[in-house]
Chains A and B, each alone.
Chain A
Amino acid sequence: MIITKMALPRRTFLRGLGATVALPLLDAMVPAASAMARAAARAPRRLGIVYIPMGMNPVPWTPAQEGRLTELSESLSPLMPHLDNVTVVTNLEVDAAHTTGNHASANSSFLTCVKPKRTEGSDYVNATSVDQVAAQQIGGDTPLPSLELGTDLIAQVGNCDNGYACAYMNSLSWASPTSPNPTESDPRIVFERLFGDGGTPEQRQAELKRDKSILDWVLDDMSSLQKQLGTTDRHKVDEYLDTVREVERRIQRAEASTAESPLTDLTRPTSVPEAWEDHVKLMYDLQVLALQADLTRVITFQMAREASTRTYPQIGVPDPHHPVSHHVDDPEKLAMLAKINQYHVSLFAYMVDQLGKTKDGDGTLLDHTTYLLGSGLGNPNVHNHRNLPIVVASGAGSSIPGGRHVKYAELTPLANLHLTLLDDVGAHIDQFADSTGRAGKVIEPLTL
């Protein structure tokens, strides 16, 4: 029997009944719904984070100029149309990511800045990630406090990285030190989380109500179960109870937003596009859509995964990324690494472009959104976590002026930038992991 996978190329993302709705996707999919009008009027601040694996080739990455930029480096050149929205930061580090499982920790420490506990089991310990700090403070009013996306659907088996559980490699976002948020890579499932199963607003309301009554019953059942158990197991049930209550809260918010803003009947994407680039772009489209409809204000996106052996023949790199990244200063491999870096940046630029084109309030979505692009590895050849590739994209509503290369003289904790990004989106904490202050240089006014 031939088993086929469900997937659909991007060009036929939207399948009407018998007809294919032409791209651009966003125009076709976004109804003129009141939710957007309301969100636009408020113009809330949003935070996005895009992860690229395995560091960079620093020479073509680093802009020659410091301070005010008039041009970008080779690897960053796809962002040139948005030069004034781009801040390049160099010489940041995540010291805690130096472990024996450097790929796992590059990913897991990027947004937590702490050393993950080494374990292959599920007794992992990391820390609450910076996106979740933001979600706690600015995500409360939206149906989804945060959205965690990726592209690697592939379920690798075996030990993920030298004694580190796969959760470290797969999850950037950690709701608590022991709860990694699962990453979703199937566009259809993302769509359904954002927009449900479709149908009329009344039908959707009825479904939500049913889910709520099931959850009430699950809560009762778990509470009575708890009485039969010992202390440790009771704590476990406490966690489950918290989970179920959180889902209930999300459903209540979804009920409210469904009642106020009937979305038209939308057709779902079918599944994962065959070409990786199409998949990435579709995931970016969904991010723009989710932010525009104010369904969430915090997004993390793992564009590719650490230690990935993906090849990029479409840009002339037939060799797998991971061995290429161990370049031993071989000029050929360095050149390939630079190509991959530039390619990843170009896909990020695709989204920045969409954000810049999408109206939001009195400006564009880019004006009200701050996106971080970066990797938890600096020099991948030696697995270090210093001088990370870091770019911030932000717009007029941000405290970050853009059009600048901030180069720290000394290695500076990435956590400092995390604090500044939190400030920028209206979430404030005093200290984050190994932070030694805020990344003040990033927000200094530009001088001519």
Chain B
Amino acid sequence: MAKPWSVVGVGLAAAILMMGVARSAHAQASETAPTSEQATIDRYCITCHNDRLLTGNLSFEGVDIADVAAHRDVWEKAVRKLRAGQMPPQPRPRPDAATSARLVSYLEAALDAAAAAAPDPGRTDTFRRLNRTEYQNAVRDLLALDIDVTTLLPRDDAAFGFDNVGTGGLSPTLMERYLAAAQKVSRLAVGAHAPAPGSRVAIVPVDLTQEDHLEGLPFGTRGGTAVEHTFPFDGEYEIEVRLQRNRNENVEGLTEPHEVEIMLDGERLQVFTMLPSENLVMLADAVYYADAGIDNHLNVRVAVTAGPHVVGATFIKKNSALLETTRQPYDAHFNMDRSPRQQPAVRSVSIVGPFDPTGIAVTPSRERIFSCRPATTSASESESEEAAADCATSIIASLARRAYRRPVTVDDLDQLVSFFRSGYADGGFEAGIETALRALLASPEFLFRIERDPDNVAPGAPYRVSDVELASRLSFFLWSSLPDEELLRIAAAGELSDGAVLERQVRRMLADPRAESLTTNFASQWLHLRNLDAVRPDARLFPDFDDNLRRGFRRETELLFQSLLDENRSVLDLLTADYTFVNERVARHYGVPNVYGDHFRRIDLPEGSPRAGLLGHGSILTVTSYATRTSPVLRGKWILENLLGTPPPPPPPNVPLLDETRSNTRVVSMRERMEAHRANPVCAACHRNMDPAGLSMENFDAIGRWRETDRGAPIDATGSLPGSEDFGGVAGLRQTLVDRPDVFATTATEKLLIYALGRGLAPSDAAAVRAITTSAADDDYRLPSLILGVVQSTPFQMRRSQS
């Protein structure tokens, strides 16, 4: 295999050792090194990278290695290529490992010194719109209101792997949606008037197996769903349950009587009996409609108070000897043809209302909002309006401070209070508050995080962001939401920039439940867990894949990431963890015995288990596969991009088209297929980096099951990483990755930094990445240390003014 890793692998192993020295001895290195380093450049690099050829748009001519600070971008590019083992490319001669390592450590030391002397923090966008997730969390924290943001705002496009990057755009369509969202959210939070009846239908995924108890529902029940719903007003609501039907419109699995239970907040509302249809005439037409209307009676009408409630619909579990003894080949039961449901299942729960609205009770949102009530007086109308306005001003001041994430001004208040007055005139005090809230939620000060250059800073100069801006950077990084009052208070007092205070805040915030967004938002994008929802393995080849497994996979990986945060663990544990989290469904899929029930628990993995770390997680293995088969290309690309931080370069612009007239070639094994794939030298340039990495994971099939053979042939899971020696299977892959802890830690740092800053990284950020990673290395690369390092870094704390 290629030798580039001789720099990165063996060479860099040595290089790393030396770098520890080099980094602590900047001065020495820069005094003695330049001559020999210049010689290395002259000998190995300048043949291509000169002013005439400008290969890769890079020239070392006139770039003095003794004065690294003068050309930081050039040298950062060089360091990155050298560290990744990409330069010089084959078949050009390469310096020996020690020489390369010396060059890298000299350059890094000099670059770090230059960055320390003249920091370039880069420039985050001035305007960053709250994206979907941030909007949802902001509403939750501002108004104590849970909303389903996917029904309110369009999807955000991702850039650099994260959907909080590049959110500066505002199309008219999007603005309309923010306006409409402001109206809906303010109505739901305040509820000044009874709304017209509305409906919501919660659909249970069609591939959810419901043969057993599901988490979130009471024990003694089977299948079903629990729907969290915010009821807009006190009144009567109709709750209607429908059962899953097969393509002939018959209720699935209804072969004997079953009992359906509808619940509100865990309390039984009503139990219904479902009897199998007596219409057994199997005539052509009759069979299709044998069950017509058979579940129409699954309705209750019930008085519900405003606010959040949980509506449940489930079955009472039976002890059916028949079901216990019928041995089933699959765990999944939703597929009429291959593994049909044994028992009926819930299809949908609809909630319609309010009918006969009676008023509005205490709700979490109203408790949060109405911190005062206007003093009731019998005085003149104008006096009572003034009393109302006084109270409204206090309510609005507190909402605006939190929503704008800064101390509010008299001017801010005046404008919002005028909205209150206009609403008050139309419909009284609560209508006034609702109107002011509606305006607040459409305000650019709420919808955009705005960072302004201070007046006294020269153009293009680095400056420290204000404490109030820093508070927002921090809360959106750690919580994907607004600062809380404590953070805002400290920032407003100008204390947040104090290092000790800042560190205390980071620790406090990481311990807060809101920090779960680092798992559900950051990690789920970094590791592509979000793509699981899109995964639809072919039901013919993988009849045992169902929604239970999809949810389980995602939960397993989320819990692993969360355990790193909660237990102050090394980020390397993502690769090596000797424990994981499973429920019965996932455990059976993995062949782990003695795990019963739908709830997740932590288990220790046996020595040498292929399931150790992310590389053995069904989530990762499935999102990197096609519906019908594994894809070494997708898996290899995922490893390069997300673990090594060296995404395969895009094809060169002059990539030739494949020969259209090529004869029909049938390839057999995956390995052969990949080799055919790499026959073209232009394609091979990238695929020889991607494919071998992916091939080492071939022992896992397209839904993450362990296998020794593929269509009868034994699997050869030999693989390699760019430039490494060959290794065997996923264990070898894991070991090779762990042998270079700094590479993975650097990738994790870069991903965190992109997410924290909401922008792609530039060469000028490399020094910060090195500083964070190096300092975390002393603490075993613990994830909280990396996060703290990001917060303390130059690009997070500073900003370059507009040039």
A binds B: yes
Nearest Cβ distance between residue B559 and chain A, in whole angstroms? 15
Please tell me if the beta carbons of A247 and B226 are within 8 angstroms of each other in the complex: no
Q: Is A165 an interface residue (CB 8 A)?
A: yes
> Across the two chains, which residue of chain A brings its CB closest to B224?
A2
Q: Across the interface, which residues of B come within 8 angstroms of A137, CB to CB?
A: none
Distance of A76 from chain B, by nearest CB (Å): 23
Which of A158, A222, A320 is in CB contact (< 8 Å) with B158?
A: A158
Question: Which of the segments B92-100, B358-366, B659-667, B783-791 contacts the partner chain?
Answer: B659-667
Contacts of A181 in B (CB 8 A): 171, 173
Q: Is A313 an interface residue (CB 8 A)?
A: yes
Q: Which residues of B contact A37 (CB under 8 A)?
A: none
Contact indicator A182/B204 (Cβ below 8 Å): no
Among listed A183-191, A341-349, A362-370, A395-403, interface-contacting one: A183-191
**B197 touches which one: A17, A101, A384 (CB < 8 A)?**
A17
A310 CA to B627 CA in the complex, in Å?
9
B150 neighbours in A (Cβ, 8 Å): 186
Segment among B279-287, B434-442, B731-739 that sits at the interface with chain A: B434-442
The reply to whether B217 and A215 contact each other, CB–CB distance below 8 Å, is: no
Shortest B295–chain A CB gap in Å is: 13
Q: Does the CB pair A382–B657 fall under 8 Å?
A: yes
Range of interface residues on B (Cβ < 8 Å): 35 or more
Confirm or deny: A211 has a beta carbon within 8 angstroms of a beta carbon on chain B.
yes
Q: Which of B112-120, B491-499, B502-510, B535-543 contacts A (4 or more CB under 8 A)?
A: B535-543
- Any chain A CB within 8 A of the CB of B658? yes
For the complex formed, measure the closest distance between the CB of B6 and the CB atoms of chain A, giving whole angstroms: 29
B347 (CB) vs chain A CBs: closest residue: A9
Of all chain B residues, which has the CB nearest A156? B531
B679 at the interface (CB under 8 A from A): no
Contact between A247 and B200, CB atoms less than 8 A apart: no
Q: A residues 317-372 with Cβ under 8 Å of B?
A: 318-320, 323, 328-331
Is B141 positioned at the interface, with any CB of A under 8 Å from its CB?
no
A431 lies within 8 A of chain B by Cβ:
no
Distance in angstroms between the alpha carbons of A402 and B525 in the assembled complex: 48
Interface string of B178-215 (1 = CB under 8 A from A): 01101100000000000011011111111000000011
Contact across chains for A1 and B215 when beta carbons are under 8 A apart: yes
Task: Check if B660 sits within 8 Å of A382, measured CB to CB.
Answer: yes
Are the C-beta atoms of B538 and A166 separated by less than 8 Å? no
Known: A239-B170, A240-B444. Is A232-B802 also a contact (CB below 8 A)? yes
A163 to B652, CA, bound (A): 12
User: Which chain A residues lie closer than 8 Å to B174 at the CB level?
Assistant: 182
Evaluate whether A189 and B653 lie within 8 angstroms (CB atoms) in the complex, with A166-B157, A243-B170 already known.
no
Q: Are A331 and B664 in contact (CB under 8 A)?
A: yes
A231-251 CB mask vs B (1 if < 8 Å, else 0) is 111001001100110110010
Q: Would you list which residues of chain A between 251 and 302 have a CB under 8 Å from chain B?
A: 267, 270-271, 274
Q: Tell me the chain B residues, 118-158 only, with Cβ under 8 Å from chain A.
A: 126-127, 148, 150-151, 154-158
B127 touches A236 (CB 8 A): yes
CB distance from B411 to the nearest CB of A (A): 9
**Interface flag for A151 (CB, 8 Å):** no
Query: Complex Cα distance A379/B348, Å?
Result: 42
The listed residue (B200, B641, B759) touching A159 by CB distance below 8 A is B641
Partner-binding segment picked from B8-16, B159-167, B601-609: B159-167
Contact residues, B419-440 vs A (CB, 8 A) = 419, 422, 435, 438-439
A311 with B536: CB separation less than 8 A: yes
Nearest chain A CB to B392 CB, angstrom units = 17
**Cβ of B453 under 8 Å from chain A:** yes
B329 lies within 8 A of chain A by Cβ:
no
**CB contact list, B376-414 vs A, under 8 A:** none
Residue of B nearest to A270 (CB): B201
Interface residues of A in 191-243 (CB under 8 A from B): 192-193, 197-199, 207, 210-211, 213-215, 217-218, 221-222, 225, 228-233, 236, 239-240, 243
Contact A323 B168 (CB under 8 A): no
A8-25 vs B, CB cutoff 8 Å, 1 = contact: the mask equals 100010010110000000
Are B650 and A101 in contact (CB-based, < 8 A)? yes
Q: Which residues of A contact B238 (CB under 8 A)?
A: 18
CA distance A165 to B159 in the complex (A): 6
- Given the known inter-chain contacts A157-B525, A229-B126, A330-B666, please indicate yes or no for A274 contacting B157, CB distance below 8 A: no
Give, as a whole number of angstroms, the nearest-CB distance from A6 to chain B.
Answer: 6
Residues of A within 8 A of B308 (CB): none
* A222 x B435 contact (CB < 8 A): no
> Which of B202, B442, B534, B628 meets A156, CB within 8 Å?
B534
Interface assignment of A80: CB less than 8 Å from any CB of chain B? no
Is the Cβ of B647 less than 8 Å from the Cβ of A159? yes
Q: 18 A-B residue contacts at CB 8 Å?
A: A2-B214, A4-B225, A5-B202, A8-B203, A121-B160, A153-B155, A156-B158, A158-B528, A162-B651, A199-B196, A214-B442, A221-B415, A225-B444, A228-B452, A230-B459, A240-B170, A247-B179, A270-B200
Q: Which residues of A contact B (CB under 8 A)?
A: 1-2, 4-8, 12, 15, 17-18, 99-101, 118, 120-123, 148, 153-160, 162-163, 165-167, 170, 175, 179-184, 186, 188-189, 192-193, 197-199, 207, 210-211, 213-215, 217-218, 221-222, 225, 228-233, 236, 239-240, 243-244, 246-247, 250, 267, 270-271, 274, 309-311, 313, 318-320, 323, 328-331, 379, 381-384
The 3 closest A-B pairs by CB, nearest first: A122-B166, A230-B802, A4-B202
